[in-house]
Structure 1
Amino acid sequence: MTTARLARSLVCAALPALALAHAAPFVSTLGPLRNRLMPRLAGQGRTDHVALTFDDGPDPLSTPFFLRLLDERGIRATFFLLGSAAVRDAGLVREMGAAGHEIALHGWAHRPLLLRGPRSTYDDLARARGAVADITGGPPRLFRPPYGVMTTAAHLAARRLGLTPVLWTCWGEDWRARATPQTVHRTVTADLRGGGTILLHDSDCTSAPCSWRNTLGALPRILDTCQDTGWQIGPLRDHGIPPANRVPNLTGRYT
């Protein structure tokens, strides 16, 4: 066998292992498994607190309605922004920060990281981080990947950029066309516990058209449920999650 053929054979033999290493953290997308085995990544914090988070914004057609409702209730939240959307509506991002909300990253473009290699993953996060830092005057510290799909490359990029990945313990499935305010509330509260992190969407850019209206309709009842249970509601910065930028092993757990 020639040297070139041997090299090609070794590369072909290594590809499955490399693909496995890249995709191994994908197991963290399984909610029950993540909540039980990866509480830090799931966003589990102190038991008297619930973290309220929103993805996919900012959107000038919908985000202001959420800001107004949260201001009326005296509640702050964490908004995971798309860098591409943030630069289009920088004034809205500054308004969110001025209102006391926590600004975090959802990447530059809403594209699954499983489809990106290490360089593309890093470039996407770095571009988004730089854009948001330029708008707000300080770098964000939290990151949530599109669709909640982490990869080894994403963990490595986040570590280099000083970002802590945070997913969620419960969501409203509010992106669905058949969602209603009632189903969003019911789906969130079915899995909500003290110390949990709620995922909702303040934009329909990757969801069913106008789905944000169902989220907005469900939000007061979600807040009432938390407060009636005695939980404080706020952003992830007040949630008691220690920072973690370590790289996970092949099971997706930090070591």
Structure 2
Amino acid sequence: MSPVSGRAWRTAAVLLPAGAAVAHIGPAVTWLPGVRLLLFPGLAGTGRPRHVALTFDDGPDPESTPHFLDTLDVLGVRATFFVVGEHAVRHPELVRETVRRGHELGVHGWTHDRPWRPAFARDAAEVARTVRAVHGLTGRRPRWYRPPYGILTASRWRAARRAGLRTVLWSAWGRDWTADATPASVRARVAADLRGGGTVLLHDSDHHSAPGCWQATLAALPAIVQDCWEAGLTVGPLRDHVPDGAGGRGRPDHRPSP
């Protein structure tokens, strides 16, 4: 082998792993709201123009999730809960109760880990495992996937597609996982990006957040829904948000009296 060829092989040996890493983590750029909304509106959860999809991550949590279910019952609103598989199998009755009350479930991974290294086989297995768990517990196959931390990688995107799931992130969030979150701050952060056709991200658990932060979210929830109604927007799960979904509850004319 000539010196030139040797250098070429050594360069390729360096560039190929680097290229693989870029290919793996490249889709994570969709975490940026501007990029997501402009280039990937479907991934941002853009749906019916006069509807807002209400979604919750990180549950189920027996300490906090029942409070959200009760509040949503009072509001007459249904939502999509993206569950972590290992939590779902620990609390099967809570999973079933969530569905019994009219909400839908999405997949948030088997665990809530950060996906920095390529792991196609592991990601495919864990997403499929969560799908099987949800289906087995409820008799309903989930349709949606949201990666932990909203960090989408090539392997997780591929795993979701292989499992027949549609990946959906969000267009508005409450930044409700922080220790300094308050009901006012959560409401204000959602309101800053609230628009018809958008998807709102909140959390019904502090499993992977600051302890107790779910209480700020819970306290803000009625005001967030009221803000949607006052803007003439319906509120509901993702199944009612996509163009081929059926209409559902949470219409302004169904809201309770103040």
User: Partner letter of residue 198 of structure 1?
Assistant: V
Q: Does 1:230 find its partner at 2:227? A: no
136, 139, 155: which is aligned to 1:153? 155
CA distances 1:61-114 after superposition (whole Å, capped 9, x unpaired):
000000000011110000000000000000000011111101110000001223
Change (3 A) 1:241 1:208: farther
Q: Contact between 2:56 and 2:82, CA under 8 Å: does it hold in 1?
A: yes
Q: What percentage of aligned pairs have identical amino acids?
A: 51
- Distance (whole Å) between structure 1 residues aligned to residue 37 and residue 29 of structure 2: 11
The alpha carbon displacement at 1:214 in A equals 0.2
Residue 121 of structure 1: CA displacement?
1.2
Change in CA separation of 1:122 and 1:47 when aligned onto 2, cut-off 3 Å: same
Aligned residues: 243
Matched, 1:76 2:78: yes
- Structure 2 portions without partners, runs of 5+: 246-258
Measure the CA separation in 1 of the matches of 2:167 and 2:190: 21
Matches of 1:175 and 1:99, distance apart in 2: 25
Q: 1:90-109 counterparts in 2 under 5 A? A: 90-109=92-111
Instruction: Provide TM-score, normalisation by structure 2.
Output: 0.89
Indicate if the aligned counterparts of 2:21 and 2:118 stay in contact, CA closer than 8 A. Answer: no
Of 178, 202, 205 in structure 2, the residue corresponding to residue 203 of structure 1 is 205
* Aligned pair partner of 2:182 in 180, 183, 199: 180
SS of structure 1 residue aligned to 2:18: helix
RMSD: 2.0
Identify the residue that residue 123 of structure 1 maps to in structure 2.
125
Which residue does the alignment assign to 1:214?
216
Structure 1 residue runs of 5 or longer lacking an equivalent are 244-255
SS, match of residue 49 in structure 2: coil
Distance 2:114 2:195 in 1: 28
Q: Give the drift of 1:187.
A: 0.4
Q: Report the equivalent of 1:252.
A: none
Change (3 A) 1:7 1:139: farther
The structure number with the bigger radius of gyration is: 2
Q: Deviations over 1:197-227 (max 9, x none)?
A: 0000000001110000000000010011001
Please give the TM-score of this superposition, normalised by the length of structure 1.
0.90
